[in-house]
Amino acid sequence: MNYMPSPFQHSHPAKVPAGGTDQVSGVAPAGLDDENQSVPCVMQPANMSRNEKEKVRRACTPKPTTGRLEVPQDIFEMWNDSKGKGRARLFSLWCKSGGVKAG
């Protein structure tokens, strides 16, 4: 049986010459274009967008069909503590992580 690789699979990662651009896209790789680099924006709990707060809500509430949680029980309890400082602390933790839900 002959194994035929898919035409969409690459046998090796694309290599870009140092200081050059990618031959296909014409875009300089990250870290090589010094004039267009910008400082990353740091999220603050006070100025979180509504969408970011909705992401936290969706992650912290049980699924409607199964009731399964995506987060540990202690994070769920922090979310339910909306009158105390639990939810504010949860937003702060979300901002510290950069809005990335670790898996």
> Which amino acid is it at 100?
V
pTM to 2 decimal places:
0.55
Shortest CA distance to 18 belongs to which of 33, 6, 5, 7?
A: 33
- pLDDT attached to residue 48: 86
pLDDT tens digits along 15-63: 545 555 545 555 555 554 555 666 666 778 888 889 989 999 999 999 9
Residue 40: what pLDDT? 61
For 70-103, the pLDDT digits (tens) are 999 999 999 998 787 888 899 888 888 887 777 5
On whether the CB atoms of residues 59 and 68 are closer than 8 A, the answer is no
Query: 89 Cβ partners below 8 Å, 6+ apart?
Result: 78
Report which DSSP code applies to 31: T
Query: Tokens standing for 38?
Result: 């910008």
pLDDT of res. 47? 85
> What would you report as the CA-atom Rg of the chain, rounded to the nearest whole angstrom?
22
